[in-house]
Amino acid sequence: MSDSHPFDADTAVTGTGPRFEATISDRWGVVGGHANGGYVLSVCLRALRQALDRPDPLAVAAFYQRRVLPGPAEVLLDLGRSGRPLATGGARLLQGGQELVRVVASFADLSQADGPTLVTGSAPALPAPDDCVDLFGELPGEADLTAPGITGRLECRVPRLPGWRQGAPSGRAEAEFWMRLAGGRQPDTMALPGLVDMAAPAVFELGHFVSTTIELSVHVRARPAPGWLACRVSTRYLIEGYHEEDFEIWDSAGTLVAQSRQLALLLS
């Protein structure tokens, strides 16, 4: 891992634990100027990884209590017992002495994973990335429905522009697309828990463009191969403003590398 890429530089923490210092960057901003939840989660996981001495986040749960703004932050850890093959700990991200995010995560070494395997799902059947359309490309006369910060940090390619991007949401809250971090950084298990929350929410296709995450659970299933990531996202239930979002990430070799579900709330 090199801190030369924005993702690594902006998720870096300093300290020896259980207290770490961090700087929340404005390069991962979303609507309203606060930081994207997946990016904030990645900051907490950097601190936990350093303290737990395991390379791969395996199971992660994050609870978002308040929005995180660019600027100084601290991450306080609560470490459980470490065993084999897992080490588990909690992290609390604070700004101005106020707790904003709480994370619990188990780390492992996925290179040592060995056991029965059954996969009944399949990766999205997408055209090659070069044959797809840039989701964030300029379209004349359209309002930018996403904040400028995080859209500059990601590359997303879609077989065709979704309805919300053309000003006519389809009413079907689902999508399949390619995604990767901009700037040539290859995917790894530390990037996956953040990436599941960085794409355009599925509810955009319902005509709702501001949603805030309440809880996010991520399972990292394997170390990804280099290259583009094939993603699938959907929302099936929107009830009184609350909605789930299910997300899958498959690597360039067709391996399922991450799954997530989050509960979020529409704000408009």
pLDDT in tens, 24-74: 999 999 988 899 999 999 999 999 999 998 999 999 999 999 999 999 999
At residue 95, what is the residue type? Answer: Q
Instruction: Assess whether pLDDT exceeds 70 at residue 217.
Output: yes
3-state secondary structure of 28: helix
For residue range 155-171, list pLDDT tens digits in order.
999 999 999 999 999 99
The answer, yes or no, to whether residue 139 has pLDDT greater than 50, is: no
Query: Which of 5 and 268 is assigned the larger pLDDT?
Result: 5
Q: Can you give the pLDDT at residue 136? A: 86
What's the average model confidence in pLDDT over 225-254?
98
pLDDT per residue over 173-199, tens digit each?
Answer: 999 999 999 998 999 999 999 999 999
Q: What is the reported pLDDT for 142?
A: 40
Fold for the domain defined by 6-109+125-266 = Porin (2.40.160)
pLDDT at 146: 41
Residues 6+ apart with CB under 8 A from 227: 180, 186, 187, 251, 252
Least confident of 71-85, 166-180, 227-241, 242-256: 71-85
Higher pLDDT, residue 180 or 3: 180
Q: Residue 147: pLDDT above 90? A: no
Please answer whether residues 50 and 17 qualify as being in contact, where contact means their C-beta atoms are separated by less than 8 angstroms: yes
Closest CA to 136 of 144, 125, 127: 144
Q: What 3-state DSSP class applies to 102?
A: strand
Is the pLDDT score of 2 beyond 90? no
User: Which of the four pLDDT bands, split at 50, 70 and 90, describes residue 83?
Assistant: confident
> What pLDDT sits at residue 1?
54
- By C-alpha distance, which of 160, 190, 138, 137 is closest to 8? 190
3-class SS of residue 15:
coil
* Predicted pLDDT of residue 148: 54
Evaluate if residue 151 carries a pLDDT over 60: yes
User: Rounded to two decimals, what is the model's pTM?
Assistant: 0.93
User: What rounded mean pLDDT belongs to the chain?
Assistant: 93
143 has pLDDT over 50 = no
